[in-house]
Amino acid sequence: MTDLSILRRATSRQTSATNLIKAGAAALSLLFGLGSIPASAQEDVPADVPVEIETVEAPIAPPAPTGAEITLEVTVDAMVAEHIRNSYIPGLTISVVRDGEVLLAEGFGYADLEDQTPVDPEYHLFRLGSISKTYTFLALMQLVEEGRVDLDANVNTYLEDYEIPEAFFKPVTIRDLFTHRPGFEDVYRDFWFDAETEAERMVELQLHDWLADNIPRQPMPPGEYVSYSNYGAALAGDIIATVTGIPYETYIENEILEPLGLSSTTPRQLLPDGYDRAMSPELGERLVSFYSSNGGVATEMSFELIPMAPAGSFSASATDMASYMIALMNPEAMDDADVLNDDTVLQLIQRPYPSNPDAPAYTYGFRSGDIGGYSTMEHGGATMTSFSTLVMIPELDMGVFVAVNGGTDALAPYTIAHTLLADLIGDAARPPLETSTLSEDALSEYAGGYLSSRRIWGGVLKLAGASEVYSVSPLANGHLMIDGGEYAYASNDLFINVWDDERVQFLRNDDGVVEGFQSTYGHTTLLRVEPSDDINLLLLASALAFFFALTQIISAWKRISDNRRPALSGHALLLWSFLTSVWTMVVFVSFGLFMMDILAAGNEIIKIWPTGSLTWLLTSIIILIIMTVVLVLGLIPLFGKSRLTFFRKLHYLLFVGALVYFLFKLHEWHFVGYNYW
């Protein structure tokens, strides 16, 4: 393992020259989230490797930079050095474009820490993660333009051998895939494989088969709410292959990459030689190494194989990404390359659903935000080790791409790109939207708890998705407190952070009642917490069951110790209630062991799911249900007998009531039965 504090110190020199359930739920949420920071593995890299930060400029940089270009380089150097220092980033690549030209393409840090290979922005390929989706949606838009696919058609029209169910009596359309509104929950089964140990599994698993075997639940009506969907983008890729009769990777290469001259971009992955989806050896050699950073220590990780390739398999160089940005912001160039005609390119940045133009939203495959009063065309990406972002401002013809091969801050590329673009806009920034204060009564409409729509809604993993509740409450100064940030009212249910211009758009249902909101990043809708999704009620049920089980154990033990001899039926009830209480404690201990397994496994939990401890936990709950039913049946005949005192009857009732409520909440959270997914 390599100590990244060395890298941090080197960067500093260069810069000077330039609770149990809640804890478990949080662990599940982190470990099953794409944006999570992975735990360190145990593969050693020599720790005595001297690490220095080097900057490698692409050959396209002019030999005599202008003053503006020098200023840009100094700004980028300082900004990147700070992030490398604070986030323990091994290597970073960046490209900046404006007015159809590449202003800057640089590499920082190392493509390989052990060999101390500096990052070259033209040579080295970084993983793009979800930026891959933009290529997929460009290809799908080609088919729309050609009339081979209809934006408003049911996706099942273009699928073979499997179908997407029509939830809420409404089909998922092609338009819903573009805008991340299909209503799907998140899917993590067979989400990624290790290239070193699981390549054969990837070889055997075709995209079409993965999609057919992992059709997600649809907890939301199609077309209603933005809820970022990897499955939806992968579905778009399968539709491309089905409609054209050409494998997805081949179609992308022939119809998108080659016409645009993107020879250092590929959707293919590190698979055995000769396999039809394998990356060429030439491009494979140019991949950077990937690192997990934990506590200042970098551990080299394997290439992550992604079964749903259209959603996240791409790799590219910074200079190729510069060319990609230039093409996307130049409709005539896209037309000349026979990728899309100019009118269709302009459609990519249009919002297909009515919304506040000042609020975050998705267009056709891209996210639309705001920097300096200008609409952006952007997308982020993340794997377990690599993070990236692509941000363009078409109106100003400028864009920034940033990618890293490790680090502790998944948002570092996003922060760098947005900060740099704001700096480039400078005095051309438009005045901020005017804000005002609202009365406490008006603000109370928005108050409450909200959950992200982008989560796992069913199975025991529901606990992971519902663990983070966003709190909204009114402030005395007429502003809103949203998840710890202060927001002022602008217009049309839009609120703006008083410190950093982050925007939150609240949504109303047909009755005019506030039902949710979208944040600046815009990839999810935060919906009001329903009682069945309120983790606090689960905690309350758990606390009651634990308390009354404990008191029942103490009471039974005391009666036994005092040698009190109840009637035979009373003795049986006492014994059974004691055993049921003890088994209730077994359930809590089993849950604790399950949580320990999750924390110990780290990101490997995705591969070994479901764990043996989870199976045992679910089995113990089934046993508790049986014991509770027997207890209830045993109580009924005894309650008519005077031998039981009022307080004993009350205690039994409270204990049984707490158990029934606890089991009911476990049922709501899908812990009754073997609901692994």
Q: Residue 174 maps to which CATH number? A: 3.40.710.10
| 451 and 600, same domain (yes or no) | no
What's the pLDDT band for 509 if we cut at 50, 70, 90?
very high
Asked if residue 166 and residue 302 are part of one domain, the reply reads: yes
Ranges 23-37, 51-65, 92-106, most confident: 92-106
End of a domain among 428, 450, 469? 428
Instruction: Based on the fold, state whether residues 211 and 327 are members of the same structural domain.
Output: yes
**Of 497, 514, 532, which marks where a domain is finished?**
532
**Residue owning tokens 């491309």:** 240
- Where are the strands (E) in 189-316, listed by range? 193-194, 265-266, 290-294, 297-301, 304-305, 315-316
Evaluate if residue 306 carries a pLDDT over 90.
yes
| Any domain includes 316 | yes
Angle at 329 between CA 328 and CA 332, to 5 degrees: 85
With 70 as the cut, is the pLDDT of residue 39 above it? no
421 and 479 in a single domain? The answer is no
Q: 505 near 353, Cβ under 8 Å?
A: no
Q: Is the pLDDT of residue 52 over 60?
A: no
Q: Does residue 610 have a cis peptide bond before it, meaning omega lies within 30 degrees of 0?
A: yes
| Cβ contact 270:278 at 8 Å | yes
Q: Is residue 449 part of a domain?
A: yes
Amino acid 487: pLDDT: 97
Average of per-residue pLDDT across 477-482: 97
Predicted pLDDT at 616: 97
Phi, psi dihedral angles at 397 (to 5 degrees): 55, 50
In this prediction, residues 277-292 reach a mean pLDDT of 96
Q: Residue 567: its pLDDT value, please?
A: 52
Residue 232 within a domain: yes
Mean pLDDT of 420-441: 95
> For position 357, what pLDDT does the model report?
75
Domain containing residue 487: CATH number:
2.40.128
Q: How many CB atoms lie within 10 A of CB 325?
A: 26
Whole-number Å distance between alpha carbons of 193 and 180: 25
269 and 207 belong to one structural domain: yes
The count of domains in the chain is 3
Average pLDDT estimate for 306-323: 97
Residues 360 and 424 in one domain: yes
pTM for the model: 0.85
For the chain, give the mean pLDDT.
87
Asked if the structure places residue 81 within a domain, the reply is no
Same domain, yes or no: 383 and 451: no
Q: Is the pLDDT of residue 558 over 60?
A: yes
The model's pLDDT over 106-148, given as tens digits with 9 standing for 90+, comes to 999 999 999 999 999 999 999 999 999 999 999 999 999 999 9
Residue 267 lies in a domain: yes
Residue 68 lies in a domain: no
Q: What is the mean pLDDT of residues 659-676?
A: 95
Token readout for 221 is: 């009506």
Question: Do 251 and 132 have their domain in common?
Answer: yes
| Residue 649: band (very low, low, confident or very high) from pLDDT cuts 50, 70, 90 | confident
Same domain (yes/no): 264, 331: yes
Higher local confidence (pLDDT), 278 or 46 = 278
Question: For position 648, what pLDDT does the model report?
Answer: 79
Half-sphere exposure of 269 (CA within 13 A, CB side): 29
Residues 371 and 509 in one domain: no
Please tell me whether residues 520 and 554 are part of one structural domain: no
Q: What percent of the chain has pLDDT over 90?
A: 68
182 within some domain: yes
Q: What is the mean pLDDT of residues 25-42?
A: 42
Rounded Cα–Cα distance for residues 280 and 294 (Å): 32
- Tokens 């000769």: give the residue: 274
Task: Kindly state whether residue 88 falls inside one of the protein's structural domains.
Answer: no
pLDDT band at 569 (very low <50, low <70, confident <90, very high): low
Which of 484, 514, 532 terminates a domain? The answer is 532
pLDDT of residue 488: 98
Going along 172-250, which residue ranges are E strands? Answer: 193-194
Tell me: do 212 and 352 sit in the same domain: yes
Question: Could you list the residue range(s) of the whole structural domain that residue 513 is in?
Answer: 440-532
